């Protein structure tokens, strides 16, 4: 009998979907599968996976967030009571259910726990207002939830202090490398090849992508044979247009190469050709960039902040995210420095060993749900 519901209705695409699919894949080997059913988004890979693997679907919700919330308020709330559901685990975000059953939620919205930081400073007008409304909705979810699971211990501590949350848990993110990624990558680079810095992200302002043209300008000024790889393509979005104007302003087009989104199967090839990974986010709960940099043995340059220190410890090089000169100087000090590289790689390997497998992580999450 299905006594618990896993709510994946808020997950539609991107990294969240990959994590959700990893979570679902672990269910096939666990002996409590019959106790659970799933809320899934319509026309999604998550729903397709459940159907193909005979995982019970409790309800299919719309990918439109407004329609989904209406479905949570009425039919889902009614169905929870009718079928005597014990508890629900909303994997990311929360469900607005009008019911007495207990809800566990996973929170990865790091900006909610730094209220003094203007996380949306790059936005204005209606765009910024929309972001603020969504943030307040998510804060409501934190207050309503019976328990909250974090993947970053620093955020768990901050959330407990700021919102006075009673039941908070820390479950580290799991590591999953596909079979084709398990072989050690051997680096055979040409001596005169350019030093390549990787920004593995899209048009996301909080990743500090508008600093890329300024960083390229510093490379140009210093006459360095460096190149920045950015995993996106130009489009008609405001961010992309602003980026293009900065590239033209500094005259640095030849120092920046837009390579577009990269499939997971192509990650080994990508990491094989780069010399450093840049993660200059304002805030992160976690990032696959970190795990991948460690796994592929590439120096990781990350924002000098407590969220990063909490995750990386000694396995990162910390920089001032808005200072292109500081970033470039740090990169130059690390590249080809064998002593620093070995120190970094030793700590990266140690950190990787501390992360749970997908199965271990899933069992921890399910045990939290059952404990209610």
Residue 63 has pLDDT above 70, yes or no: yes
The pair of structure tokens assigned to 74 is 């009425």
Q: Is the pLDDT of residue 1 over 80?
A: no
Q: Residues, the chain, total?
A: 372
What pLDDT was estimated at residue 17? Answer: 77
| pLDDT at residue 179 in the model | 40
d(C-alpha 372, C-alpha 362), whole Å? 16
pLDDT, mean over the chain: 88
Q: Which of 365, 249, 296 is nearest to 8 (CA)?
A: 365
* Long-range CB contact pairs, 336-344, < 8 A, 24+: 341/299, 343/314, 344/299, 344/300, 344/314, 344/315, 344/316, 344/317
CA distance 188 to 19: 32
**pLDDT category, 187, cuts 50, 70, 90?**
very low
The answer to whether residues 150 and 202 belong to one domain is no
**What's 27's domain CATH number?**
3.40.50.2000
Picking from 15, 53, 2, 8, the residue whose alpha carbon sits closest to that of residue 289 is 15
Same domain (yes/no): 199, 218? yes
**Residue 176: pLDDT over 80:** no
Least confident of 8-17, 110-119, 208-217: 8-17
- How far apart, in whole angstroms, are the C-alpha atoms of residue 169 and residue 229? 37
pLDDT tops 70 at residue 2: no
Distances in whole angstroms, Cα of residue 363 to Cα of each of 31, 91, 119: 11, 14, 34
Instruction: Summarize the confidence of residues 124-140 as an average pLDDT.
Output: 90
Using CA atoms, how far residue 345 sits from 200, 293, 348, in Å, is 20, 10, 5
210-245 in b/e form (b: 16+ CB < 10 A) is ebbbbbbbbbeeeeeebbbbbebeeeeeebbebbee
- On whether both 246 and 267 belong to a single domain, the answer is yes
Check residue 182 and give its pLDDT. Answer: 41
135 plus 151 within the same structural domain: yes
Q: Are residues 204 and 302 in the same domain?
A: yes
The band of 178, judged by pLDDT with boundaries at 50, 70 and 90, is low
Residues 166 and 221 grouped into a single domain: no
Quote the pLDDT of residue 177.
58
Calculate mean pLDDT across residues 35-60. Answer: 92
- What would the mean pLDDT of 256-279 be, rounded to a whole number? 92
Strand 147-150 to strand 102-107: parallel, antiparallel, or no bridges (unpaired)?
Answer: parallel
* Domain containing residue 166: 4-174+356-371
Instruction: Name the domain count of the chain.
Output: 2
Find the distance separating the first CA and the last CA of the chain, reported in whole Å: 18
C-alpha to C-alpha distance for 242 and 187, rounded to whole angstroms: 35
Measured CA to CA, the distance from residue 301 to residue 319 in angstroms comes to 7
Residue 100: how many other CB atoms lie within 10 Å: 8
* Beta partners for residue 278, in sequence order: 301
- Same domain? For 152 and 244 the reply is no
Owner of token pair 């900065």: 246
List, in sequence order, the alpha helices (H) in 296-337: 306-312, 324-334
- pLDDT at position 186, please? 42
pLDDT at 184 over 80: no
Are 317 and 212 members of one domain? yes
166 and 68, same structural domain?
A: yes
- Does the structure show a pLDDT above 60 at 190? no
Using pLDDT thresholds of 50, 70 and 90, give the confidence band for residue 14: low
CB neighbour burial string for 161-190, b if at least 16 within 10 angstroms, e if fewer: eebebeebbebbbbbbeeeebeeeeeeeee
Asked whether residue 163 falls in the same domain as residue 205, the answer is no
Report the distance separating Cα 150 and Cα 238, nearest Å: 32
Q: Is 249 helix (H, G, I), strand (E, B) or coil?
A: helix
pLDDT digits (tens, 9 = 90+) for 234-252: 999 889 999 999 999 999 9
Question: Of the spans 28-32, 122-126, 207-211, 309-313, which averages the highest pLDDT?
Answer: 207-211
Residue 115's contacts (CB-CB under 8 Å, 6 or more residues apart) are: 162
186: DSSP letter: P
Give the H or E element holding residue 17. helix 14-27
Give the number of other Cβ atoms within 10 Å of residue 126's Cβ: 8
Pair 189, 162 in one domain = no
Question: Are 168 and 186 in the same domain?
Answer: no
**pLDDT value for 11:** 87
Residue 99: predicted pLDDT: 86
- Highest-scoring range by mean pLDDT, 111-115, 119-123, 145-149: 145-149
Q: Which of 11-20, 103-112, 257-266 has the lowest mean pLDDT?
A: 11-20
Mean pLDDT of 336-355: 91
Give the pLDDT confidence score for residue 74 in this predicted structure.
Answer: 94
Contact present, 329 and 216 (Cβ < 8 Å): no
Over residues 136-140, mean pLDDT: 93
- pLDDT number for residue 325: 96
* Average of per-residue pLDDT across 110-122: 84
Nearest alpha carbon to residue 223 among 255, 175, 198: 255
């Amino acid at each position: 009998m299905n006594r618990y519901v896993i709510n994946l209705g808020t997950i539609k695409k991107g990294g969240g979907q990959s994590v959700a699919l990893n979570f679902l894949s672990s269910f096939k080997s666990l002996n409590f599968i019959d106790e659970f059913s799933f809320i899934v988004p319509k026309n999604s890979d998550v729903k397709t996976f459940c159907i193909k693997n005979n995982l019970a679907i409790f309800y299919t919700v719309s990918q439109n967030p407004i329609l989904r919330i209406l479905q949570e308020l009425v039919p889902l709330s009614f169905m929870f009571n009718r079928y005597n559901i014990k508890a629900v685990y909303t994997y990311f975000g929360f469900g607005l259910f009008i019911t007495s059953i207990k809800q566990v939620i996973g929170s990865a919205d790091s900006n909610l726990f730094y209220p003094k930081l203007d996380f949306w400073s790059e936005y204005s007008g209606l765009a910024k207002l929309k972001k603020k409304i969504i943030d307040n909705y998510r804060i409501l979810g934190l207050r309503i939830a019976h328990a909250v699971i974090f993947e970053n211990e620093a955020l768990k501590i901050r959330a407990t202090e700021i919102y006075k949350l009673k039941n908070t848990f820390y479950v580290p993110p799991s590591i999953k490398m596909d079979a084709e990624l398990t072989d050690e990558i051997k680096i055979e680079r040409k001596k005169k090849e350019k030093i390549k810095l990787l920004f593995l992200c899209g048009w996301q302002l909080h990743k500090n992508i508008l600093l890329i043209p300024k960083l390229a300008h510093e490379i140009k000024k210093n006459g360095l044979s460096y190149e920045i790889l950015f995993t996106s393509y130009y489009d008609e979005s405001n961010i992309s247009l602003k980026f293009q104007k900065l590239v033209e302003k500094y005259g640095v087009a030849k120092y920046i190469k837009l390579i577009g989104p990269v499939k997971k199967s192509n990650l080994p090839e990508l990491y094989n050709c780069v010399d450093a990974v840049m993660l200059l986010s304002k805030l992160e709960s976690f990032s696959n960039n970190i795990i991948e940099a460690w796994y592929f043995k590439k120096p990781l340059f990350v924002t000098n902040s407590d969220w990063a220190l909490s995750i990386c410890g000694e396995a990162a090089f910390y920089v001032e995210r808005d200072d292109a000169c500081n970033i470039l100087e740090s990169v130059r000090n690390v590249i080809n420095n064998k002593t620093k590289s070995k120190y970094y790689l030793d700590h990266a390997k140690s950190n990787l060993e501390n992360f749970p497998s997908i199965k271990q992580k899933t069992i921890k999450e399910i045990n939290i749900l059952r404990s209610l």
